[in-house]
């Protein structure tokens, strides 16, 4: 499958050596509230300032804090949660990208319970390297805001050899890169309130969930077709994991698509039908938009040499047409076996004569 430039990756490689930061701010919870703007909450009693900085949250006292970023948009290169309880971080958005050409990182190490981020995580538009690494070591990170990024952003989720790491989405991921699960312990969870967008371009070119991990999809898949090709049989693999590692939940849905049958989702755009199948996690252009059956299609019935001829003209060649018959207007209509026909503009069906028979044409 061809790929666009941005990549969301969940890998097991050992993390690279730490790079120097201008300032490291460590949360010590020394203030009277949980606001980032209170200097006493930081080890040096200094409020963080945007730049090539690291924020570090570690070794909570067991309480479940709700920390609040009230500093406006804070730009940083790294944020760590180490041995923390179930903390929730809310408030203003952050830009994870620092002010240098280096990439950025968010790390959860042996977090006792899930750490939930309610704010938005954006990229730093001023740096050349957009790479963002989410390092989850026996931890779960919950994205309850928006994790965004352009095509030049690389987002890497790294387990560093840990037994598990879960990226759970209850908000939305709009970053235009892959989610790469290269460890069997890596799990991507799209919860019922979550949304994840795959951007569809030319045939086979899109961002996807790839690798050898697992995916549990129970939220909303958004297939952005604004740049999609429209040639019949073009296809895109949306989830490239082994099918046995992919589970679609009861609340799973594809935004703007209709579930035409169990696990099959259709929509019409660019004059073509696009179909997503849960069975193989593939989006396919299945054909042109069906025409409505012409209103002028009608039946003509005539008796000839012991037979009844039922003829219809001006049929839609894109539809399947069948004849239904009843022994009286008050009787039940029964589809006549062997009468289904398609790809024709007119047709004639032959029946043995009987009294009080009525015929009708069904086009689907």
- Taking only the tens place, the pLDDT of each residue in 154-198 is 566 667 777 888 999 999 999 888 888 878 888 999 999 999 999
151 alpha-carbon distance from chain centroid? 16
pLDDT per residue over 231-249, tens digit each?
A: 999 999 999 999 999 999 9
Residue entry with tokens 């909570």 = 60
Give residue 8's Cα distance to chain centre.
13
Three-state DSSP at 138 gives coil
The pLDDT of residue 123 is 78
Q: Among all chains, which residue has been given the structure tokens 């062997």?
A: 338
Angle at 6 between CA 218 and CA 237, to 5 degrees: 50
- CB distance 146 to 120 below 8 Å: yes
Q: For residue 341, what are the β-bridge partners?
A: 321
pLDDT at position 322 is 87
Query: Judging by beta carbons within 10 Å of its beta carbon (0-12, 13-18, 19+), is residue 281 exposed, middle or buried?
Result: buried
pLDDT digits (tens, 9 = 90+) for 300-328: 777 666 687 778 777 877 788 888 887 76
pLDDT at residue 305, as a whole number: 66
**pLDDT, position 104:** 74
Q: Is the pLDDT of residue 294 over 60?
A: no
pLDDT at 214: 92
Q: Please provide the average confidence, as pLDDT, over all residues in the chain.
A: 83
Contact 220, 195 (CB under 8 A): yes
Q: What is the pLDDT of residue 310?
A: 74
- What is the value of pTM for the model shown? 0.75
CB 351 within 8 A of CB 358: no
Distance CA 79, CA 97 (A): 11
Residue 40 pLDDT > 60 = yes
Whether the pLDDT of residue 273 is over 90: the answer is: yes
Q: How far is CA 268 from the centre of its chain?
A: 19
Q: How far apart are CA 139 and CA 106, in angstroms?
A: 12
Residue 260 pLDDT exceeds 70: yes
**3 pLDDT more than 50:** no
348, 360, 347, 287: which is closest to 315 by C-alpha? 347
């Amino acid at each position: 499958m061809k790929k666009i430039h941005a990549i969301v990756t969940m890998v097991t490689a050992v993390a690279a050596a730490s790079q120097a930061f201008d300032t490291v701010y460590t949360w010590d919870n020394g203030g009277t509230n949980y606001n980032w703007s209170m200097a006493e909450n930081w080890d040096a009693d200094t409020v963080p300032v945007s730049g090539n900085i690291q924020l570090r949250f570690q070794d909570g006292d067991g309480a479940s804090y709700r920390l609040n970023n009230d500093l406006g948009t804070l730009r940083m290169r790294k944020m760590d949660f180490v041995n923390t309880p179930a903390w929730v971080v809310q408030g203003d958005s952050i830009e994870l990208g620092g002010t240098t050409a280096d990439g950025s990182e968010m790390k959860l190490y042996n977090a006792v319970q899930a750490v939930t981020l309610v704010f938005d995580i954006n990229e730093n538009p001023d740096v050349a390297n957009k790479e963002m690494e989410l390092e989850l070591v026996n931890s779960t990170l919950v994205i309850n805001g928006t994790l965004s990024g352009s095509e030049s952003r690389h987002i890497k989720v790294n387990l560093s050899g840990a037994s598990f790491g879960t990226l759970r989405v209850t908000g939305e991921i709009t970053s235009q890169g892959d989610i790469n699960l290269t460890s069997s312990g890596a799990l991507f969870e799209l919860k019922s309130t979550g949304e994840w967008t795959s951007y569809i371009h030319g045939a086979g070119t899109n961002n996807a969930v790839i690798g050898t991990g697992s995916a549990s999809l129970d939220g909303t898949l958004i297939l952005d077709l604004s740049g999609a090709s429209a040639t019949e049989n073009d296809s895109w693999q949306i989830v490239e994991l082994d099918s046995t590692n992919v589970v679609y939940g009861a609340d799973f849905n594809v935004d703007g698509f209709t579930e035409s049958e169990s696990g099959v989702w259709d929509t019409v755009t660019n004059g073509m039908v696009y179909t997503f199948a849960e069975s193989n996690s593939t989006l396919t252009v299945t054909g042109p938009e069906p025409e409505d059956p012409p209103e002028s299609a009608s039946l003509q019935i005539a008796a000839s040499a012991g037979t009844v001829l039922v003829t219809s003209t001006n049929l839609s060649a894109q539809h399947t047409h069948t004849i239904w018959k009843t022994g009286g207007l008050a009787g039940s209509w029964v589809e006549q076996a062997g009468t289904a026909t398609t790809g024709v503009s007119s047709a004639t069906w032959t029946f043995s004569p009987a009294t009080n028979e009525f015929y009708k044409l069904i086009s689907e």
